[in-house]
Structure 1
């Protein structure tokens, strides 16, 4: 999702302001007037939005490919362990390495991709990420031993991690401000559609054919995306104003005059360069430190809720639950619920607020994993104990996925774009992305080991306890950022009261 989603429209236009815990009205007013004037001039022109939707949807083809990679382990896992997927033996321990190694590749790519997208562009980077995708799926299709499977998943993870940074940035830079939030939400939605797709297709296919279909998706993405324009922001950064104008005309319509928007981009880039501070100074700010504590904490509790264990091993969980429903069908139900809930979250997150969604989401997720733990504990004692409780794991996992998709799934990523000043936002996003993927690796890798050591009941109780701690963390540490400007959020993180002499009503005019 877009970095700018959820931030007040004016705060998006503000250049980086030198750090301090307050800002005077006479300093802020000229900046606001200039920003508003520039935006109004842009909006008075007749612009087309359909090309922007087309470009954004084309970019999210990479998210669809990433979603299929994330969900692949669920239908493929049982086939790997029962010996029908490959000609070599794959035990539960080996399967955990195959499932989790994707996250290592993704974590390794989060920081380098920030450099790559500024070297070869947003479009060039996303097209280049198709190469490790193809290599990875090719190795999976024709794997001859376990090491090929693990290397394949690392390659695929590199592409997934890269797309999770490059695609939302590209979408945020091509979109008009009034539709940026909507277009930014496409990325997360398309990941869930990719997961549902691989759940549904994998229910009736062997791993070989499933992997071929998944490997075709990034190729189709490249064939479509190659016709899309490069980000105008990147082109202006590279002093290629004529190409930027051509890109804007493609995105806004041939009748659009790009001169004002290009001038605004050039001014913003120059302002940021003039007001840049050293890395050490930026990272030592109280606002940056608090932003990292909040965002990294949210990423930690997002992953230790057990979400990736659920996504990667949904089939295995339902098979073990012995619900009487085909595991593949139950998995598809979970995928449908995830898509619907993610779609709903895009419509309510700016109305309901961040904190309330996080609190409700994590507390109900804790109850769901508590219920799953009880079910598996009773089952381990005696199968007859759960003969009439086949509905419980399905209901628990469905509610778990819905609550995650409404709150703890998208909101931490939204808040990354809101908590950091512009000059540290890129680093903040990279650090959070790296931690997120590393934790996903730990959870997916150790899930099999945890179930062996604690039992399935004990493992889900562990996830439940960690979700309760996450709810406490949100209640005492995480602030509400809904409806607040960048300046207000930075002032709040600094622990000071703002000294600004304009009202909210004036700000919206």
Structure 2
């Protein structure tokens, strides 16, 4: 079976390409991988930015990089401009993946923390849907113009947002912290004193234990880092990058009468609706159960997809009667992934990581995530060519089952727990007193 690159398909179309001549296959490969390259280094820049200039200005800096990348691609006169634009896009995305979950975790209430944190994945799928619905009709250059507009909207919107109270307390500015929390909550400062005291106490405690890279390997810090890294490992080794990258080919194998462009629009809409579910259930069902259900569903979808390719490779006579299987399994996989594993790892990292090591843990976990993505993208075709596509999808299915087991036996539940309760849980402290306090608060509410 011949697999094609969507990047090459678009850029080799002279009516849509921003370049005066189509790119070569090798150039298209570089264009496809340079985004991931930027994603590997962007988290470290984001970690440095959020610690030195703040969460808000770190996100504003990312918006500027998005804008510069879009300028390079919009007005590209050679493939080098496309390369540069993709690196800027990847770097900015890496910064956002580090700073935004932290920003959300620091401004959200305990009750809404999971929902707000999971909106990151919702808007990622909205971006996919936007590209799927407009890309076939406005081309690569048109998409670049759209990204220019969204970079401006991102910058203006973030400029109007406040800095987090946690960052102000870290900077020894309690007055600004109080004003920030009052703006976020829409309440008078006097009514927020208890929450301000809790944030201040958590920051003071973290200052007493100012973290370094070595402190990541302390018990609860390492546990938070390990859980976050494991979740993003399982997230990438479900094969989401490969499934999305070769989506049109899978539809073609399914024998669908739909044009690939319209098929991807349908899939994009389904992904968006699935991701939209997460904010509404994350704080009701809990993180752990969602991770387990999502991972189990991904394992089933990928297993069925691998089964189809296995039967196709051995020329099974039943293959003609089950040509719907790739479509069904693909839809099952994408719905289950976007509903859980696509959204929750970033929210969990944001709410579990101790303040004193956030500057180190978040960039390392995010860089590890995109390194996994780069390796999968780089070596997928090699493994598929030597062992068969069904082997690759079954490997992804096994990894998804591993994610299910990880959620079942190791992942702690953070639903409705305060930051201090989560830290006690990670360190193995007695939670009886805090659980009683939390129950009392819930009864009073």
TM class, shorter-chain normalised?
0.7 to 0.9
Quote the offset at 1:340 in angstroms: 1.4
2:440 is aligned to: 506
User: Which has the bigger relative contact order, CA under 8 A and spacing at least 6?
Assistant: 1
1:406 is aligned to: 339
Whole-angstrom distance in 2 between the partners of 1:151 and 1:406: 33
Out of 134, 142, 155, the position equivalent to 2:88 is: 155
Bigger Cα displacement from structure 2, 330-339 vs 448-457: 448-457
Q: In structure 2, do the counterparts of structure 1 residues 359 and 263 end up closer, same or farther at CA, with 3 Å as the change threshold?
A: closer
Across the two proteins, how many residue pairs are aligned to each other?
437
Quote the offset at 1:206 in angstroms: 1.9
Is residue 236 of structure 2 the alignment partner of residue 303 of structure 1?
Answer: yes
Bigger Cα displacement from structure 2, 206-215 vs 485-494: 485-494
Out of 91, 95, 102, the position equivalent to 2:28 is: 95
Whole-angstrom distance in 2 between the partners of 1:469 and 1:501: 32
The secondary structure found in structure 2 opposite 1:204 is helix
Is residue 300 of structure 2 the alignment partner of residue 367 of structure 1?
Answer: yes
Q: In structure 2, do the counterparts of structure 1 residues 436 and 185 end up closer, same or farther at CA, with 3 Å as the change threshold?
A: same
Out of 128, 139, 146, the position equivalent to 1:213 is: 146
Out of 354, 374, 395, the position equivalent to 1:462 is: 395
Bigger Cα displacement from structure 2, 425-434 vs 247-256: 247-256
Alpha-carbon deviations, 1:333-378, whole Å to 9, x = none? 2211211111212222233333332233222212212222233344
Whole-angstrom distance in 1 between the partners of 2:434 and 2:42: 44
Whole-angstrom distance in 1 between the partners of 2:186 and 2:406: 47
TM-score, length-normalised on structure 2? 0.83
Whole-angstrom distance in 2 between the partners of 1:135 and 1:378: 47
1:164 is aligned to: 97
Q: In structure 2, do the counterparts of structure 1 residues 179 and 408 end up closer, same or farther at CA, with 3 Å as the change threshold?
A: closer
Is residue 121 of structure 2 the alignment partner of residue 188 of structure 1?
Answer: yes
RMSD of equivalent CA atoms: 3.5
2:411 is aligned to: 478
Whole-angstrom distance in 1 between the partners of 2:97 and 2:275: 16
The secondary structure found in structure 2 opposite 1:478 is coil
Quote the offset at 1:261 in angstroms: 7.4
Bigger Cα displacement from structure 2, 83-92 vs 350-359: 83-92
Whole-angstrom distance in 2 between the partners of 1:144 and 1:322: 39
TM-score, length-normalised on structure 1? 0.74
Bigger Cα displacement from structure 2, 338-347 vs 447-456: 447-456
The secondary structure found in structure 2 opposite 1:205 is helix
1:443 is aligned to: 376
Conserved? CA contact 1:309–1:444, under 8 Å: yes
Whole-angstrom distance in 2 between the partners of 1:477 and 1:266: 28
Whole-angstrom distance in 2 between the partners of 1:499 and 1:249: 32
Quote the offset at 1:247 in angstroms: 4.6
Conserved? CA contact 1:304–1:467, under 8 Å: yes
- For structure 1, the 5+ residue unaligned runs are 1-72
Whole-angstrom distance in 1 between the partners of 2:425 and 2:183: 40
Quote the offset at 1:330 in angstroms: 1.7
Conserved? CA contact 2:233–2:372, under 8 Å: yes
Quote the offset at 1:416 in angstroms: 2.0
Conserved? CA contact 1:74–1:314, under 8 Å: no
Whole-angstrom distance in 2 between the partners of 1:143 and 1:162: 24
2:286 is aligned to: 353
- For structure 2, the 5+ residue unaligned runs are none
The secondary structure found in structure 1 opposite 2:256 is coil
